[in-house]
Chains A and B, each alone.
Chain A
Amino acid sequence: MSGPSTYVPKSALGRWFESRLPVMGLVHSSFIAYPTPRNLNYFWTFGAILSFMLGAQIVTGIVLAMHYTPHTAFAFASVEHIMRDVNWGWFLRYAHANGASMFFVAVYIHMFRGLYYGSYKAPREVLWILGVIIFLLMMATAFMGYVLPWGQMSFWGAKVITSLFSAIPFVGDSITTLLWGGFTVDNPTLNRFFSLHYLLPFMIAGVVVLHVWALHVVGQNNPAGVEIKNVQRDAVPFTPYATIKDSFAVVVFTIVFCWFIFYVPNYLGHSDNYIEANPLVTPSHIVPEWYFLPFYAILRAIPSKLGGVLAMFGSIAILAFLPWLDTSKVRSGAFRPVFKVLFWVFVVVCCGLGYLGAMPAEGGYVIASRILTLLYFLFFLSLPFIGWFETTKPVPATIADAVLAKSGGSVALAGAAHEKP
């Protein structure tokens, strides 16, 4: 995806095809010859893990849709039908439900990695913003998917989240009516959520293509945060190095995924969702899925309806401005002593908000949510100032220098690197 390919197929048939549709050359330049920085650590395998999870969700989702009925009278029963009657239905549903959680585990690690190593900085702003868009689409997809089983949490989650839009002045109520297709969350809502839940993953796949395209135009960031200067010294070919490493990481990740599917399939869910939706009774303690908890805590921390909604959406939107909020010339957090501390404080703040989002909104929990919400936004607002006064550590001139400083050995040239085990 980075410029014209020099790939020449070996067979005559391959050359005939390549001159008509150069798709093999595209694959070759993107995933075989593509130079990857030689100092990447395992945090750089989460792109591959995420691609795998998107594929897994689409495959399990398509077969689940063959057995699911999007109607308020049948949805809950059809999910139980999948669990009890459909061949391997229990496996497919548990894989899909836990797959959503694993997808978010991977995306949060991927995002924190990008944050720590400054992967959002020039020239990767568009790459980063495409990632924020994927994250938003993921949230919408996961939310609508959780509504489909039509349990109590499905219904009341849908009610609360769609009611967020009623906070918009003047047109809020018209918007919620439009979203519901009725006077409250009901059958039309379930129908359209099913339609959109099926559509959005393919939109995610489309934006992922743009994300990977943008990545292959600007090149991968790396732990040292310096660009590839000499392809021979600083980089290794994508295949076999990145392909094998990514495959290994996917396998390890799948072991964790399988542990959830086969040993604790309901650990990340909520037991109230095994009670069929009842529009007249709200469960006494409603919580969203774990991956929305930090944002839910921010929503509840603000003692005003519109304010809470704005803070919640703002906490995600601010990510898109990160490339311009961070004024530091040094890209990688490894060479930024002040930023590094703030980064870890930010990680703790996010986890703390996640914990508070699961707690009832009363007493000390509310006060703690307010403090952590303030800290969440202060992290972003402090970035411009830190960039100005922070004394950074010396940055290695090249990726090869960074590797040498760490290992003390000599760097084999990429051409000869194939001989290494």
Chain B
Amino acid sequence: MLYIATGAAAAVGAAATAWPFISQMNPDAATIAAGAPVEVDLKAIPEGGIMTVKWRGNPIFVRHRTAKEIKEAQDVNLGTLRDPEPDAKRVKKPEWLVVVGVCTHLGCVPLGAPGQRGEYDGWFCPCHGSQFDTSGRIRQGPAPSNLVVPNYVFNGDTRLTVG
């Protein structure tokens, strides 16, 4: 009984001592503070264009979608999607799509320049071939889920804050 009590106390002590050594690996206060929201000027993005802004070290894609791209995103049969999500739930205004530009497979930045957007007019990841549509949803390739939609708010008609 005494042995068990002593051993249990030692185990609790060891775990408590180990905690700072593990916890120090998580993001520090400066890193978290540097991840403050960023503002985007929407007037700088022409229709059909994509602007990349950096937030928390990762690229954020702000895409000014054309009428054709919006229609493509809305007309998809959700039953055929790996990660079914209607386009309406991924955007606040149909012409603006905001996604984190990090492939949900292994973290590469998908290509979005005209001609590099893959078969679904969205993005093509050069690392392992994942293809995303005009709503940033996974359509083909190894990525398990859609491009993440970050928190963002519109400040009037021409400005957007991400984060």
Task: Spell out A's residues near B (CB within 8 Å).
Answer: 156, 159-160, 162-164, 166, 177-186, 188, 192, 279-286, 300, 302-306, 308, 361-362
Cβ A188 vs Cβ B27 within 8 A: yes
Say yes or no: A163-B106 contact (C-beta < 8 A), given A183-B57, A305-B142.
yes
Cβ A183 vs Cβ B35 within 8 A: yes
Q: Which of B25, B35, B58 contacts A279 (CB 8 A)?
A: B58
Cβ A282 vs Cβ B127 within 8 A: yes
Per-position contact with A for B107-126: 1 when CB-CB < 8 Å, else 0?
Answer: 11101000000000000011
Cβ A304 vs Cβ B144 within 8 A: yes
Please give the distance in Å from B43's CB to the nearest CB on chain A. Answer: 22
Size band of the interface chain B makes with A:
20 to 34
7 A-B pairs with least C-beta separation = A183-B56, A163-B107, A184-B57, A163-B106, A282-B108, A160-B106, A159-B107
Which residues of chain B are within 8 angstroms of A177 by Cβ–Cβ distance?
26-27
Residues of B127-144 whose CB lies within 8 A of A: 127-129, 142-144
Q: Which of A279, A286, A361 contacts B57 (CB 8 A)?
A: A279
Q: How far is the CA of A228 from the CA of B125 in the complex (A)?
A: 57
Q: How far is the CA of A139 from the CA of B79 in the complex (A)?
A: 42
Cβ A285 vs Cβ B126 within 8 A: yes
A sample of 19 cross-chain residue pairs with beta-carbon separation below 8 angstroms, ordered by A number, consists of A160-B106, A160-B107, A163-B107, A166-B106, A182-B57, A184-B102, A186-B31, A279-B57, A279-B58, A282-B125, A283-B126, A284-B111, A286-B127, A300-B142, A302-B142, A303-B142, A304-B142, A305-B105, A306-B144
Which residues of chain A are within 8 angstroms of B74 by Cβ–Cβ distance?
none
Cβ A282 vs Cβ B52 within 8 A: no
Q: How far is the CA of A180 from the CA of B26 in the complex (A)?
A: 8
Cβ B25 vs Cβ A178 within 8 A: yes
B86 contacts the other chain (CB 8 A): no
Please give the distance in Å from A70's CB to the nearest CB on chain B. Answer: 16
Q: How far is the CA of A185 from the CA of B58 in the complex (A)?
A: 9
Task: Determine the residue in chain B with the shortest Cβ distance to A285.
Answer: B126
Cβ A178 vs Cβ B109 within 8 A: no
Say yes or no: A181-B26 contact (C-beta < 8 A), given A281-B109, A305-B142, A361-B129.
yes
Residues of B21-76 whose CB lies within 8 A of A: 22, 25-28, 31, 35, 52, 54, 56-59
Q: How far is the CA of A164 from the CA of B108 in the complex (A)?
A: 12
Q: How far is the CA of A181 from the CA of B28 in the complex (A)?
A: 7
Say yes or no: A181-B106 contact (C-beta < 8 A), given A280-B59, A305-B143, A308-B142.
no
Q: How far is the CA of A284 from the CA of B129 in the complex (A)?
A: 11
Q: How far is the CA of A177 from the CA of B125 in the complex (A)?
A: 22
Q: How far is the CA of A98 from the CA of B107 in the complex (A)?
A: 28
Which residues of chain A are within 8 angstroms of B125 by Cβ–Cβ distance?
282
Please give the distance in Å from B113's CB to the nearest CB on chain A. Answer: 11
Q: A159-B106, A300-B142 are in contact. List 8 more A-B contacts (CB 8 A).
A: A186-B57, A188-B31, A279-B57, A282-B127, A286-B108, A286-B126, A304-B142, A308-B142
Which residues of chain A are within 8 angstroms of B25 by Cβ–Cβ distance?
178-179, 181, 192
Please give the distance in Å from B26's CB to the nearest CB on chain A. Answer: 6
Which residues of chain A are within 8 angstroms of B31 by Cβ–Cβ distance?
181-183, 186, 188
Which residues of chain A are within 8 angstroms of B102 by Cβ–Cβ distance?
184
Q: How far is the CA of A125 from the CA of B3 in the complex (A)?
A: 35
Q: Which of B28, B58, B129, B143 contacts A184 (CB 8 A)?
A: B58
Which residues of chain B are within 8 angstroms of A308 by Cβ–Cβ distance?
142
Please give the distance in Å from A158's CB to the nearest CB on chain B. Answer: 9
Task: Determine the residue in chain B with the shortest Cβ distance to A287.
Answer: B127
Q: How far is the CA of A306 from the CA of B144 in the complex (A)?
A: 9
Please give the distance in Å from A187's CB to the nearest CB on chain B. Answer: 8
Q: How far is the CA of A192 from the CA of B143 in the complex (A)?
A: 28
Q: How far is the CA of A300 from the CA of B56 in the complex (A)?
A: 28
Which residues of chain B are within 8 angstroms of A303 by Cβ–Cβ distance?
142
Say yes or no: A160-B26 contact (C-beta < 8 A), given A304-B144, A305-B142.
no
